[in-house]
Amino acid sequence: MSNSEDYGYVKLLKKLDLEVFIELFNTFLAREKPLFLEGDTNIHVEYIKELDRLEFTPPKEIANLDANLMHIKKFGVLKIYDIYEFIKIIRYFKYLKSLKIENLLGRWIDNIKIPEVLEGLCDRFDHEAKIKRGEYEELDNLEDSLKRIKSNISEQLHKILSNNKLASYLVDRQIHLINGEEVLLFKGGFNHFIKGSVVGRSSGGFFYLLPESISKLKDKESELLSLKEEFLYKICKEISLIFNKNFLFLRFINREFDRFDHYQARALFAKAYNYEIVKPANDHTIILKDFKHPALSKPKSISIEFDKKILMITGVNAGGKTMLLKSILSSVVLSKYLIPFGINSAKSHIGIFKNIEAILEDPQNVKNDISTFAGRMLGFSELFGKNNMLLGVDEIELGTDSDEAASLFKVMLENLSKRDIKIVLTTHHKRLASLMAGNRDVELIAALYDEKIQMPTFSFLQGTIGKSYAFETAQRYGIPRSIVNEAKTVYGEDKERLNELIEKSARLEMDLELKREKLEEELKRVENLKDELSFQKERNQEALKEELNTLERSFKEAIDEAKRASKEADKKEIDKAINNANRRVLDIKPKKESEDFDLKIGDRVKHGKTKGVIVSLSSKDATLLSDQNIKLRVKRDELKRSGNPPKVKQKIALPNRLRPENASIKLDLHGLRSEEAIEELDKFISDSLLAGFDEVLVFHGIGTGKLSFVVKEFLSKHPKVVEFMDAPP
């Protein structure tokens, strides 16, 4: 965000009364930053939602490190506390990794690979930005010497304070700190008993004395502090060089920390105040449900639909018109920056706008040397070069004749709306409202007034022009009743009737326009339904005709095959032909769309007229145990759900002309040649299929294995054999 954009953004927050609210939000950030989140809004919202479900410790305050990064890039040496700010960021990401976060957020954190050398640097520091003991022996020795010096200074001071010879010269027994030096306060004449340097005088004329013995210890302390600073500089130089070699990573993790900071602040802010985030939609529709402006201590929730180009707010003075305007603009601003606020997000819809502008205040002042109306015109003139904007204007006709302004603003508003500018405005003048009421791109809304209690209700009614109730408002705010009554007389009944006629005319025009739109929509719906039914009828007729042609062809082929078989004397061939005919009959059944439902073992289903229970499943097939205790393997998409099983189980008899005589589930092929065995096996399988057998047994012996081989080869190629296996020993 550029400086000019940032300045405009701050001004807009002030105009919309959002400054305090944003300041409160900023307290949840580890470091202050522009609120705009670059990148995909959908991904940002997912991250925030995942953080909302996660228990974590928020980051502590972190300094802005942009200048430090530039210093590192130029091989500069950082101070120890600047180095520690980077250490804090690295440590926090190590903490996030330890949480073993899942999903999108977890993948992002896991992909941040911290170099080992930087992880090692984290171990050198304690949690007070100091180097841990044991990392550098020389530094530890200097620290120990400084502690001893401090201890000696303290002992010397207390020794002097307890000296009886000096008791009469001591003003008090306090250790005073003057110019960073620990001193004692003496009366005059002390120099006969103690040597030292006077570093100041008190308001009472007493002397602040730095004893000579303490002075020597202080000199030693200063020398040790200088050595410590020199050694710390070497450490900082060493670490700064490591930072320089890892500059790209440090710049990356600094940016990623800001990104996480954006997410965590929003998640915790929403949780702390029971706020919600509304993801901005890629359109310009605004639907607010139970929105509460954060500047109000006891706000009344607002619900409004604004999908047209212009929203014109009229009605009672001090009835909430300006606050409604600010609420609409505020909701768009907060949604754009993904800031949580009070709203029912599930039932709300907020579009996104590139620009948001508010013209609320009176531009007239001495410095501007400009009139109110001229200032308004100057502000509007800048809008004609912009687009993709949400514009709010309070008291639009402010500063000039209302009749002239009504005509001017009507034309200006209509032209601005054609430039992809959505406008919310307030007005008290009914002429402008009546001129705009007939425009289908304009939505009217009125602030309501309760005449019984003579107070605004701070609620709104869409689709109407509201009265200003200027006389009632003046009286409510202390204008004497006599003056108000006299003003009503001057105003006249004719003017009041004219206003009422304007309101009724505008309302009637809007009602008629609404009814016309509904009739047009209904007529269009009926025409679409008629076209759809006509198209469906033609499609059904074509499908039926095609199905009949298929049935006729298949039936003719089946009859021809049966005729050819009947001319031959060989019974085996007749059986084969009948089987082929049966297969064709099955193939010519019209294909029905399978029911879309999940199957599982134990479900009751039906296949054609056969009902039963599923006993096994595969990806394409299912094995069905029918109510007649027969197992069938069928295709899954040919099954439908079935009701309860019949009370009495009955076997379904096959037609006599298709039922084989003396059908058996066993076939013995011992002693047969290969050709004879295959003929017997083919007939046996055909008879078994007609008899409805699901499983059969074939005996072929284990002699040379030749008969076993040809049987298996035949079974593997037979179209009706689902599977076969060797019998158990």
Cβ(331)–Cβ(303) under 8 Å? no
Tell me: the pLDDT tens digits for 110-160?
999 999 999 999 999 998 889 999 999 999 999 999 999 989 988 888 888
Q: Residue 233 corresponds to which tokens in the numbers above?
A: 């500089």
Question: Radius of gyration over alpha carbons of the chain, in Å?
Answer: 46
Q: Which of 361-365, 528-532, 580-584, 681-685 has the highest mean pLDDT?
A: 681-685
Distance CA 7, CA 19 (A): 13
Distance CA 206, CA 157 (A): 18
Residue 170 has pLDDT above 60, yes or no: yes
DSSP state of 654: P
Q: What is the mean pLDDT of residues 221-246?
A: 94
Looking at residue 651, what is its pLDDT? 45
Residue 657 has pLDDT above 50, yes or no: no
Let me know the angle formed at the C-alpha of 608 by 604 and 612, rounded to the nearest 5 degrees. Answer: 25
The whole-chain average pLDDT of the chain stands at: 81
Q: What is the mean pLDDT of residues 211-230?
A: 90
Looking at residue 182, what is its pLDDT? 85
What number of residues does the chain have?
729
Residues paired with 4 in a beta bridge: none
Amino acid identity of residue 724, one-letter, is: F
| Strand-pair category, 421-426 with 389-393 | parallel
Element of type H or E holding 668: strand 666-668
Name the 3-class secondary structure at 312: strand
Q: What is the mean pLDDT of residues 230-247?
A: 95
DSSP state of 308: S
Tell me: the pLDDT tens digits for 306-319?
988 999 888 766 66
The DSSP line for 590-630 is PP-PPP-----TT-EEEETTEEEEEEEE-SSEEEEEETTS-
Sheet holding 640-641, edge to edge: 631-635, 621-626, 610-617, 604-607, 640-641
pTM of the entire predicted model: 0.61
Cα separations (Å) of 247 from 235, 414, 486?
A: 18, 55, 79
Looking at residue 290, what is its pLDDT? 93
Amino acid identity of residue 377, one-letter, is: M
Q: At what angle do helices 3-15 and 321-336 cross, to 10 degrees?
A: 140
Name the 3-class secondary structure at 439: coil
Tell me: the pLDDT tens digits for 406-448?
778 888 888 888 888 999 988 877 777 777 777 888 888 877 7
Tell me: the pLDDT tens digits for 564-579?
665 554 555 656 665 6
